[in-house]
Amino acid sequence: MHLLTYRADGDDTPRLGALLAGDRVVDLTALAGAAGAQLPESLLGLIREGEPALATARRLLAVAPADGPATRPLAEVSLCAPLRPGKIVGVGLNYVEHVAESHRTLDTERELPDRPVLFSKPSTAVTGPGQPIRHNADLTKQLDWECELAVVIGEPAFQVAERDALRHVFGYSIVNDISARDQRRSGQWFFSKGQDSYAPFGPVVVTADEIPDPQRLDLSLRVNGELRQDSNTRHMLFGIARLIADISSGITLEPGDVIATGSPSGVGAGMVPPQFLQPGDLVEATIERIGTLANPVIDAR
């Protein structure tokens, strides 16, 4: 299933939806009500209820008419971030070529890390598809992009073995890990990567059953239509199962938490000369089988 959160008809209340045939949205809560069933009103609620709620949603979508009263064209709705995670765990230096370009331009270590490099982004950094990335020139002159596969946790995970780790995954999405490169503080990344709007997220969450091998997905990023990143998740230094095992060795991953699994090479800081985002730019992050997450950059001063 391709699950999403959206608003329609000027309504401020977000709705839980799913894509039908790629271009229509069905209101899952309304669909359930019409069938005498029950589903949560949010994607986070659906994740927390687990497999029984997922089974209900699958059953209802299997017979949902594309032109039923609970459906409408995708073009007529406004997509939101799929959910607001309890925590976002970022992974740095997780593609070999990105390690090399970061050493050259960002003064990181030359050697490949022997365990995942982790940092956090606050949930207040999350913004949805089509929503602006805030460029505040009083705070940064080096606003950068990073297209990353997002792993959405479904089952609580603590001290999980690598062989069991993928059982804890609900689904996959896209995070654009926006970074103010000139706001690292004594090597710490929280303010550099954690400002409001620095975690565009979406457009959908694809349930794990539809992506049986998340380590074989093409991913790319364009700025104003120009290709900047182009890689595949098979080039991760630490795969998703290893990341979950490592993080959960000391931190409980809860339903709805998100792991941003790292960026391939092609970031602005690594270009010659370096190029960074400016107000008026459009950033489009694309991952195979998930879709494209597009966000404009605005002047936030």
Over the stretch 152-171, which tens digit does the pLDDT of each residue have?
999 999 999 999 999 999 99
pLDDT digits (tens, 9 = 90+) for 207-219: 999 999 999 999 9
Kindly provide the b/e burial profile for residues 156-167, where b requires at least 16 CB atoms within 10 angstroms of the residue's own CB: ebeebeeeebbe
Mean of the pLDDT values across residues 101-105? 61
CA atoms within 13 A on the CB side of 13: 6
Residue count of the chain, please give it.
301
- Give residue 68's pLDDT band: very low, low, confident or very high (50, 70, 90): confident
> pTM (2 decimals)?
0.96
What's the start-to-end Cα distance of the chain, in Å? 40
Label residue 284 left, alpha or beta by phi (over 0 means left) and psi (-120 to 50 means alpha): beta
